Structures are given as structure tokens and as C-alpha cells.
Amino acid sequence: MEKKHMVPEPGTEGTEGARRATGVNSVGAAATPRALRAVPNPEVPEKASRRKFTAEYKLRILKEAEMCQEEASVGALLRREGLYSSHLTTWRRQAQQGTLEALSARKRGPKPKAPNPLTKRVSSLEKENERLKHKLKQAEMIIEEQKKIAEILSQYPEPKDETKS
């Protein structure tokens, strides 16, 4: 069999069948200047912000979901609100566990510990203990010096005073 050499149609030079060759612009893209094409922003925000839902909002969505009678109406509700089915599941569980309080938003992370009322007292006692240790050390040094002085003085006899009779 003999291969036929096909002549490309005008405006499709460099294309490979239905696909474009690498580096070849399509006809429509070539007509639009690069500066006018919408370029998505590739930057990702430094820190993603979490969505926070109020208890009232959660209750409203749960009521709307309960009122949905048609087959795809819950899905439409979730798409409209930008929610996931797991949100409904979690919120229903929270509502069963308690009242509006269970639905309220909670701060993530470790919970702050309640301050111990004895902490202040302990710190003041520790300071006092350090102060007393310092005073004790000074008193021990003074006593040691007094002992040394007494020892030195005991080596030398007291001169007798002859004026006394």
C-alpha cells in the first residue's frame, strides 16, 4: 500500500489530527491577543480561612433539608449553599446531642487550661524561700567569720592592765 501525502487545510498548519502540536496556537487563540486572555491567578493565599457557621444558619439549613421532598432537592440546597452532605450529618448529630449550644461554632485547637488558684501562692512562697535562703547564707558566713576571729583572739592572751587594782 502506498502512503498518501495529505496537504494541510489553510489555518491548520502544524496540527496533528484533532490535536494541536506542542507550541502551536489554535486559530481562535491566535486571533486573541495574549494580554486580553483571562489568566487565572496561580497564587495560593498564605493561610486558608475556615468557614464559620452560626447556630442559627445551621438550624435554618437543617430545617430546609428536612422540608425537601423531591429527589434532588437536598443536593440542590447543598450546591446553592456551597455545603457538603457531611455538614448535614455532623449538624444533625450535634442537634441530637444538645441544644443550640451544640451547634455553635467552637474554637479549634487545645483548650485553654483553667488557671490554678494556688499558682500565685506557690510563686510567692518560692520567692520568700529564695530570700530566706539568701539571708541564711549570709548569717552562716557571719557566724563562720566570728568563729575565726574568736579563734585568732584566743591564741593571743589578753594583756593585763596594771592600772586596775
* Whether 63 and 95 share a structural domain: yes
Residue range 111-127: mean pLDDT, rounded: 90
Q: In whole angstroms, what is the distance from residue 125 CA to residue 15 CA?
A: 86
Number of domains within the chain: 2
pLDDT-derived band at 163, boundaries 50, 70, 90: low
Q: Are residues 99 and 127 in the same domain?
A: no
Give domain status of residue 164, yes or no.
no
Given this model, what pLDDT does residue 141 score? Answer: 96
Q: Which residues contact 104 (CB under 8 A, 6 or more apart)?
A: 54, 55
pLDDT band at 130 (very low <50, low <70, confident <90, very high): very high
Mean of pLDDT values over 132-142: 97
pLDDT digit string (tens) for 56-103?
898 899 999 999 888 889 999 999 999 999 999 988 888 887 765 666
- Phi first, then psi, for residue 54 (nearest 5°) are -75, 160
Question: Does residue 109 form part of some domain?
Answer: no
Q: What rounded mean pLDDT belongs to the chain?
A: 77
Evaluate whether residue 25 is within a structural domain.
no
Asked whether residue 34 is assigned to any structural domain, the reply reads no
Question: Who has greater pLDDT, 31 or 120?
Answer: 120
Of 49 and 133, the one with more pLDDT = 133
Question: pTM, whole model, 2 decimals?
Answer: 0.38
Q: Which domain holds residue 97?
A: 55-103
pLDDT in tens, 29-59: 455 555 556 666 677 777 777 888 888 898 8
Q: Per the domain annotation, does 112 fall within a domain?
A: no
Whether 99 and 128 map to the same domain: the answer is no
